[in-house]
Structure 1
Amino acid sequence: MPRWAMLSLLTLSALAAALGLRLGWMTATLDESAVIDRYAGRYVAAGGDRADCHAEPGAALFERVVVICTPPGRPGARHLWAVAPWGQLLRADTPGTRNADDREASG
């Protein structure tokens, strides 16, 4: 095998190993409490109460948890965030995103 091909193969293997270790570390150290706190913090920053929030296991593919914050007596003001295994946001359903969708549909 040519030297440049071997070097390329070793470089790609090292990058794949580094990425695998990084994602494994993220999965092992990120717990559901940290995910819930992160997205409940968004709700609190918008004027809500952290006690209004809870999480449910994700039902769809690649959903780790779904964080739901609903103000008492106002189910239409529900905030929902679907979170992937490494904490990234998959989808958000909040009054702000619903209003933006309504404006795009009517405009």
Structure 2
Amino acid sequence: MMNIQEMATAVEHNLDVKIILMNNQALGLVHQQQTLFYQQHIFAATYPKRTDFLKIAAGFGLDTCDLNAEADPQAALLAAIQRPGPCLIHALIDINEKVYPMVPPGAANIEMIGE
């Protein structure tokens, strides 16, 4: 949500951009770092109430696609990508999914780690 205003820009200029939101109902990197480096002391990194990002995107005027609500998510993804104009593509993922490579807290980019 740090750059949510960019949705308005995408609509205003009818940019052909696709935003793929892998929603783990948390601040992904913050949650991952707290899990891996701070003994799973999770603080201010999860959203206990589900944020409806599809409604937010629609409020800005973007087309939306909820892959979790589709009978054929792959076909829906392809259709959303091929549709002209801006679109938010939403995929609910498990909160424990990790993203690699990542840079540990306090480390330099050259110290990134894989799985």
Which TM-score band (shorter chain)?
under 0.3
Answer with 1 or 2: which has the greater Rg. 1
Higher normalized strand content (fraction of residues): 1
Highest RCO, 1 vs 2 (Cα 8 Å, sep ≥ 6): 2
Higher normalized helix content (fraction of residues): 1
